[in-house]
Chains A and B, each alone.
Chain A
Amino acid sequence: DIVLTQSPGTLSLSPGQRATLSCWASRNLPKNRLAWFQQKPGQAPRLLIYGASIRATDIPDRFSGSGSGTDFTLTISRLEPEDFAVYYCQQYGSAVMYTFGQGTKLEI
């Protein structure tokens, strides 16, 4: 089925810096059916972006998503201390099943 590959595996940055996370799909995702999630230790994942670029409810505008087809990007414009977490992309373009990327750990 559709495999998602995230890069980098770990990203080390400081508060105030810009973070760019990538997600590649093994096949084209129709209608940009890609979502991004943030997960902190001991918590359920939290939806950030769907439709590749639509921010979910109550998500700060420093989070933005872009891309289409097979290449997608999550950008955090100015990192806040609470943004350090693991980020996953997820595709819902397949008629067979949904899949997640392996995650990018964003650390200080």
Chain B
Amino acid sequence: QVQLQESGPGLVKPSETLSLTCTVSGDSMRNNHWTWIRQSPGEGLEWIGRVHTSGDIKYNPSLESRLTMSADASKKQFSLNLKSMTAADTAIYYCARIGTYSGTFGYFDYWGQGVLVTVSS
């Protein structure tokens, strides 16, 4: 069974950089893309970006200028760095696996439990 677990600070100061890590178990990581999604309190879902251990990376254009993602199959982890944080970035951050079938991919089949990140001084 594939399991994902987010780790990182629950509180970040304005203008600082958020660093989150997702640890994967039950999967080698090499056959799928991996992704981050966030959900502001009481709001909907926003896709942040995706990464593959091959180096293929795609970001949400609205976050691209502040965002860096990476993946390390040997550690079974992938990570997110989001700089210049503001209150608008306060959200639950989820990591997830991107499912694939018949040569297509893009849906999210396994999720972590999420970590609430609050931006406040």
A residues near B (Cβ < 8 Å) are 31, 33, 35, 37, 43-47, 50-51, 54, 56-57, 88, 90, 92-93, 96-103
Q: Which residue on B lies nearest to A1, using beta carbons? A: B61
Total A-B contacts with CB atoms under 8 angstroms apart: 59
Determine whether the beta carbon of A88 is less than 8 Å from that of B61: no
In the assembled complex, the CB of B3 is this many whole angstroms from the nearest CB of chain A, namely 12
Q: Enumerate chain B residues within 8 angstroms of A97, measured Cβ to Cβ.
A: 47, 58, 60-61
B residues near A (Cβ < 8 Å) are 44-47, 58, 60-61, 94, 99, 101-102, 104-109, 111-114
Determine whether the beta carbon of A44 is less than 8 Å from that of B45: no
Q: For chain B, what secondary structure do more than half of its interface residues adopt (helix, strand, loop), or is it mixed?
A: strand
**Residue in A33, A56, A88, A103 whose beta carbon sits within 8 Å of that of B104 in the complex:** A33
Bound CA span A45–B110, Å: 9
Q: Enumerate chain A residues within 8 angstroms of B58, measured Cβ to Cβ.
A: 97
In the assembled complex, the CB of A99 is this many whole angstroms from the nearest CB of chain B, namely 7
Determine whether the beta carbon of B114 is less than 8 Å from that of A103: no
Q: Enumerate chain A residues within 8 angstroms of B60, measured Cβ to Cβ.
A: 97
Take A35-B108, A44-B112, A92-B107 as given contacts and tell me if A99 and B61 are in contact as well, using a CB distance cutoff of 8 Å: no
Q: Which residue on B lies nearest to A6, using beta carbons? A: B44
